[in-house]
Structure 1
Amino acid sequence: MNVHLYAWIITVVVMVAILAVDVFVIGRRPHEPSMKEAGIFIGVFVGLALLFGLGVWWVSGPTYAAQFYAGWLTEYSLSIDNLFIFVIIMTKLKVPRELQQYALLVGIILALIFRGIFIALGAAAINQFAWVFFIFGAFLVYTAGKLVVDYRKHDDGGEELPENPMMRMVKKRFPATDDFRGTRLTVREDGKRLITPMLFVIIALGSTDLLFALDSIPAIYGLTQEPYLVFTANVFALMGLRQLYFLIGGLLKRLVYLSLGLAVILAFIGVKLVLHALHHYHLADWAPFAGEIPIWLSLTFIIVTLTITTVASLIKSKYDEDRAAEGSSSAVR
């Protein structure tokens, strides 16, 4: 895929323009978006991603379009799973609802910066060392296993704020106010500079998303080795994430099997990466497709897995709600 410099420049400029408008609007009027507002924004961003994929198809062909869609779906699903952690952070740090949108936006901007760095490093490593696919693949399989373990812990009722060494360091070394001061990160009182809880929130969101990038970047490089598609898929996956936070806040708890579905997808991509490395060294000629799993199969697998995961989650949630309702009725009698 030959991406000219002007295409990169246009893409980055458009992305920065969208973020700049968003920051300007939110900076002036931090608020909790309505269901209608959140739905409109999400519809626009999803529509733009679908149109972008069609543009890739028109310019570079169906193979690269399928790579973009597979990468975008995977990154979007991982981003939705990340919202569980965001909900925990916002709840534990007691962020006012009208300020949560601002905190999420800043966290997403930091995530874009971090992922941009990881994308560049990943592309450089892949171009120089084919064996890095073995590491990426093994890491994704490990991550898949960790998701299953975390799901079992969550199922046992544990919902704790993730350990964050950076937050502990800041709390220990800098005096802070007891309450939020709007979107301000620091204030001056009695001649002293104090940090506000908003700074803790942004540190928690930003550093947590930095850890998420360790999972998401190897995952998408297992679907496409085109840095441009990797970058744009990540951008579209993060755009609209804060509106999605407010729109499906209640629905997140219904997607009880999402982590398991993502574990299956990440394990699949991990195996795909290992097979790709074996194929590069001519060690997988015995395997179907000579060890090179085609993108159409990857895209189909991701769509089917996400569909089954979503349907099963909603059925399970409905079943649990019905049982809880029956239990309450029995208790009343």
Structure 2
Amino acid sequence: MCPEGCIHERSLWGWLVTIAALTIFLLVDVLVIARRPHVPSMGEVTRHLLFYISLAILFGLYVWYEWGGRYAGEFYAGWLTEYSLSVDNLFVFLLIMQNFRVPARLQQSALMTGIVIAILLRGIFIAVGAAAINAFAWVFYIFGAFLIYTAVKLARSGDEEDEDFEENRVLKWVERRFPATKEFHGTSLTVMENGKRLITPMLIVILALGTTDLLFALDSIPAIYGLTREPFLVLTANVFALMGLRQLYFLIGGLLKRLVYLTVGLAVLLGFIGIKLMLHALHENNLPFINGGQPVEAAPDIPISVSLGAIVLILGVTTLASLWKTKRDARLLGG
């Protein structure tokens, strides 16, 4: 086991092997779905989801063996946080599928391609975030303040739900710029009609999924940088969370309506990480107008073990309270 902090120096092979392995898994997934578009059974979805969850757990154990418990804790905390935020994203994905009337057998293909795009875009965000943190310690103040603002905004939204999907500027520009067919043509992104190349609704749906996830990354990337400063762990936690997102979409589509306190739970989670980031920023302060540019030693630096425990507790209480409320409401309506 290597010394504390050597993940920076000895992670090159870890980067190469991990990225190669994850790429292979994704390629196999994409090729299988591309060859056989279908509506997955619950058994198929459950098996694949358990496989990806087991893969993430085993990867965390590998991190533990190679770099120690601290980094393993950071990975697990980041992975759980990204996964919980991804569950909230699923509701919007459902709206996108409904808005564009995507046939059930093509939804897997759309989700898979959208997820691959999301991984690539998040990779860029992660690299930019890492560069900003390394160059400017005060970035933690911005990340922390943004997460606290987002948490307050989520808490105020309460149980409000948007039943309509509003297209972003990218989608509107694509639809204005490129003529499209009205009907889906399997998994094809473009088709030839009357001698003209036209895009299909499938291409627009994939862009909607990818760009929408990019907006969610504005919350999730600062959140995970509040748990670890290792780009390697940030990237792998994001990839493992996104790899299981497609199966989660089909498995808990109906369960989403039962997680009535999900928004509140995520607000508490983001608020906690935002406060942790602000405390960390004070602990490493170098802004001249705060404590004369010196670190605020009185500011506690929350250890990853406490962060991981808080994340598990918040998500557990949120899930149990949501299921209890929906069961109670159903009993009252039935009675």
Superposition TM-score tier, normalisation by shorter sequence = over 0.9
Distance 1:75 1:319, change over 3 A: same
Aligned counterparts, 1:1-333, within 5 A:
1=5, 2=7, 3-154=10-161, 158-281=162-285, 282-287=294-299, 291-326=300-335
Q: Give distance in 1, aligned partners of 2:134 and 2:197.
A: 47
Give the AA of the match of 1:284.
V
Give the AA of the match of 2:237.
A
Give the AA of the match of 2:327.
K
TM-score by length of 1: 0.93
Aligned-pair distance for 1:169?
Answer: 1.4
**2:86·2:241 contact (CA, 8 Å) conserved in 1?**
yes
Aligned-pair distance for 1:166?
Answer: 1.2
Q: Give distance in 2, aligned partners of 1:285 and 1:268.
A: 20
**1:219·1:266 contact (CA, 8 Å) conserved in 2?**
yes
Query: Sequence identity of aligned pairs in percent?
Result: 61
Q: Give distance in 2, aligned partners of 1:106 and 1:150.
A: 31
Query: Can you list the C-alpha shifts for 1:138-166, whole angstroms capped at 9, x where unaligned?
Result: 11111112222343432xxx411034111
- Counterpart of 2:291 in structure 1 is none
Aligned-pair distance for 1:178?
Answer: 1.3
- Counterpart of 1:331 in structure 2 is none
Aligned-pair distance for 1:283?
Answer: 4.6
TM-score by length of 2: 0.93
**Corresponding residue pairs, total:** 320
Query: Can you list the C-alpha shifts for 1:168-214, whole angstroms capped at 9, x where unaligned?
Result: 11222222211111011111111122211111111110110111111
Query: Can you list the C-alpha shifts for 1:85-116, whole angstroms capped at 9, x where unaligned?
Result: 10111111111110000000011101110111
Question: Counterpart of 1:188 in 2: which secondary structure?
Answer: strand
Runs of 5+ consecutive residues of structure 1 not aligned to the other structure = 327-333
**1:265·1:302 contact (CA, 8 Å) conserved in 2?**
yes
Query: Can you list the C-alpha shifts for 1:267-290, whole angstroms capped at 9, x where unaligned?
Result: 111111111111002453224xxx
Runs of 5+ consecutive residues of structure 2 not aligned to the other structure = 286-293
Question: Counterpart of 1:253 in 2: which secondary structure?
Answer: helix
Question: Counterpart of 1:170 in 2: which secondary structure?
Answer: helix
Q: Give distance in 2, aligned partners of 1:9 and 1:16.
A: 11
**1:126·1:132 contact (CA, 8 Å) conserved in 2?**
yes
Question: Counterpart of 1:249 in 2: which secondary structure?
Answer: coil
Question: Counterpart of 2:158 in 1: which secondary structure?
Answer: helix
Query: Can you list the C-alpha shifts for 1:235-260, whole angstroms capped at 9, x where unaligned?
Result: 11111210111111111111111111
**1:114·1:213 contact (CA, 8 Å) conserved in 2?**
no
Question: Counterpart of 1:194 in 2: which secondary structure?
Answer: strand
**1:223·1:269 contact (CA, 8 Å) conserved in 2?**
yes
Give the AA of the match of 1:104.
L
Q: Give distance in 2, aligned partners of 1:102 and 1:286.
A: 52
CA RMSD across the alignment: 1.3
**2:126·2:231 contact (CA, 8 Å) conserved in 1?**
yes
Q: Give distance in 1, aligned partners of 2:63 and 2:85.
A: 23
Question: Counterpart of 2:254 in 1: which secondary structure?
Answer: helix
Q: Give distance in 1, aligned partners of 2:180 and 2:243.
A: 31
Question: Counterpart of 1:234 in 2: which secondary structure?
Answer: helix
Q: Give distance in 1, aligned partners of 2:330 and 2:226.
A: 38
Aligned-pair distance for 1:52?
Answer: 1.1
Question: Counterpart of 2:192 in 1: which secondary structure?
Answer: strand
